[in-house]
Chains A and B, each alone.
Chain A
Amino acid sequence: MMIEISAISRHYRVGDIVIEALRGINISIDNGELVAIIGQSGSGKSTLMNILGLLDRPSSGTYRLGGNETDKLLPDQAAELRNRSFGFVFQAFNLLPRLTALDNVALPLLYRRQRRTDRRNVAQTWLNRVGLSERAQHKPHQLSGGERQRVAIARALVGTPAIVLADEPTGALDTRVGQEIMNLFQEINRTLGVTVVIITHNHDIAAQCQRQLELSDGYLIKDTRVGQL
């Protein structure tokens, strides 16, 4: 599912002040790419990510997803697209503390109205896939940071999305565990052909992606592909 954004701007009004988070960005991401978005805090990375993930809408410009315009989507249609086409991974994992690892992974399938046993079966296979087959009945607080992020990745993948959007996925982890998570992203990108977009501060992580987009002050200032270096 190809991502094409052209002349995307996003500004917020805070009182009398207008904050321009994105200023006329053009990006196109092909199926199966592994992309890093880097930039300083406040450079517009997260805003871009939210727009890509249909959590936010641009103030101007167009966003075509798989060839279809997204600006006319109704809220429920956007929800459905998020559910079917995207997987989200966050810095703070965002697991539900009262659900088991298995039920956390199964959550996106709940919103596809799948039956409970089906949801759990599928969720278990994804937990196995991220190496947590023994942790299915653990609650998030019983898991280490790395394990929690693996659960979150399994949750992002459980609906077999075309695109995984990861916002600082290694930000809360130490270097070694962060690298393990990065390896997992590379693996799923390679073996499943899923488009993976990672926002990161970490240049070591970014360097492991085929493509790096650098934002500054709301502008796209660099678009480099590893192959082209």
Chain B
Amino acid sequence: MITQLFYEAYINLVASGHRAILAIIGITIGTASVIAMVNIGEMVEYKSLKKMNELGPDLLSISLLRQLGSGNASNEGLDNDKIKSISDNINGHRGLVPIINIANTVEWHGCLHPHQIVGTTRAMMEIAKLELYNGRFISKLDGYEPFVVVGSAVFSKTSSDCLRSPIKIDDTIQIGSSLFTVIGILQPKPENYMLSVNTNESLFISVDAAKRISSNPSIYKVVTRVNNIEQLNIIGDMVASAIRKILPSFTVQVMTPNQIIEAIHQQSHSFTILLGAIGGISLIVGGIGIMNIMMVSVVERRREIGLRLAIGARRRDIAWLFLMEAIILSMAGGVAGFGLGMVVSFIFGRISDIEFIVSGISIPLGLFVSLVVGIFFGYYPASRAARLDPVQALHNE
């Protein structure tokens, strides 16, 4: 019964040819938009999750910004002592880690390249989840010693003839006018936006050693991780107000991973709305196209309907005959739409630097959407066909 229904629907659709194609295109675009919308949503969600895992949901970053118009107020930011006193007065976190960000030219074996120099402490390793490839990280005991730990990609962007061999422990690097000894090399890590430094391309030195290369080694950024994620915002606010109290001329900004995730979501938001609108309109246009085809078909096939009723078809058999055609039309558009939706998602991923994944629900969703459109817009013509009076249908000329 079902196979015959399919078979008859198929041969009738083949016969209706180009009329069917137009309706299918509408459904294709509609389904593609819906699928792309959901799939891109999933891609963004996936990226957010991945990002959240990389960052760690417990990461807190506090930045100091010079207030505009603060004029001749002190330029001096935080120092180790101030950080220690703030850190000790607030519970529930693993200690504030300073980040001094200095841009400078670095020279090694005749290679010259600008790099970020990060003045920080031993605890940076834990907070930024850094791992050593070789050697050791800077320590409290290093004091003013000119020791440097290099990121995995340091000098990787210089021309290749300059790189005769990789950087080794005990190599000497010149930062500005000071010479530093390499004591450790880091493993590559995904970029962590909240640290505001790319750890792979940075060189790490102690806070005291930073005074060798910078005239203003003040600390304008501290990071930490909290013990209880629910206290993330509270601790962030406490640290911020403590800083404001001692440094009133600065604006203090608290950044949490949620803000990064929010920014990622924002990236796809308007595109998703656009897709939703296109999807809705196309599905309605395509659905009306299908309804139109089916209405014409019902009129053209009145005698056939009459004959089928005469030889024993029940009204619901007639309804199914036409509903099946509408559903097949719509599902054909749905299958094509799935392909197109994937292409759109892929292109969006490329443009927005979001990894392309095929969402698990997009296949059933595509089938479901097209099935619903087929049933919704096929129902009226099908019930018109089923309600025909057999005598009138048979004697239709």
* Chain A residues packing against B (C-beta within 8 Å): 46, 50, 53, 55-56, 75-76, 79-80, 82-84, 86, 88, 90, 92, 94, 96, 98-99, 107-108, 110-113, 116, 155, 159
Nearest chain A residue, comparing its CB with the CB of B395: A46
How many angstroms between the C-alpha atoms of A86 and B311 in the bound complex? 8
B210 within 8 A of A: no
**B residues lining the A interface (CB < 8 Å):** 1, 3-4, 8, 11-12, 15, 303-304, 306-315, 317, 390-391, 394-395
> A113 contacts which chain B residues (CB < 8 A)?
1
For B312, list chain A residues within 8 Å (CB): 79-80, 82-84, 108, 111-112, 159
Smallest beta-carbon distance B54→chain A, Å: 58
The answer, among A46, A79, A116, for a CB contact under 8 Å with B3, is A116
Contact A110 B394 (CB under 8 A): no
Q: How far is the CB of B390 from chain A (nearest CB, A)?
A: 5
The residue on B at minimum CB distance from A79 is B314
Residues of A within 8 A of B317 (CB): 111
CA distance A82 to B306 in the complex (A): 12
A111 touches B394 (CB 8 A): no
For B315, what are the chain A residues with a Cβ–Cβ distance below 8 Å? 75-76, 79
5 pairs from A and B in contact (CB 8 Å cutoff)? A94-B307, A99-B8, A111-B308, A111-B313, A113-B1
Q: B12 touching A79 by the CB < 8 A rule?
A: no
Contacts of B395 in A (CB 8 A): 46
The answer to whether A88 touches B311, judged by C-beta atoms less than 8 angstroms apart, is yes
Contact of A55 with B391 in the complex, beta carbons under 8 Å: yes
Cα distance, A98 to B301, chains bound together (Å): 12
Min CB–CB distance A86 → chain B (angstroms): 8
Cβ–Cβ < 8 Å partners of A88 in chain B:
307, 310-311
Given the known inter-chain contacts A108-B311, A111-B311, please indicate yes or no for A98 contacting B11, CB distance below 8 A: yes
Whether B310 and A55, one on each chain, are in contact in the complex, defined by CB atoms closer than 8 angstroms, is: yes
Which of B1, B15, B315, B317: most chain A Cβ within 10 A?
B1
What separation, in Å, do the CA atoms of A55 and B313 have in the docked complex? 12
The docked-state distance in angstroms from the alpha carbon of A154 to that of B285 is 44
Please give me the residue from chain B that is nearest to A152 by CB atom: B307
Contacts of B303 in A (CB 8 A): 92, 94
Q: With A and B bound together, what is the CA distance between A108 and B311 in angstroms?
A: 6
In the bound complex, residues from chain B placing their C-beta under 8 Å from that of A76 are: 314-315
Residues of B within 8 A of A112 (CB): 312
Q: Which residues of A contact B12 (CB under 8 A)?
A: 98
For the complex, what is the distance from the CA of A112 to the CA of B313, rounded to whole Å? 9
Q: Which residue of A lies closest to B15 (CB)?
A: A98
**Chain A, residue nearest B386 (CB):** A75
Q: Is the CB of B4 within 8 A of A79?
A: no
Q: Give which listed residue, B4, B8, B15, B310, contacts A82 with CB less than 8 A.
A: B310
Q: Which residue of A lies closest to B307 (CB)?
A: A94
Apart from A82-B311, A111-B314, 11 more pairs, CB < 8 Å: A55-B390, A55-B391, A56-B390, A76-B314, A79-B313, A83-B311, A99-B11, A108-B312, A111-B312, A113-B1, A116-B4
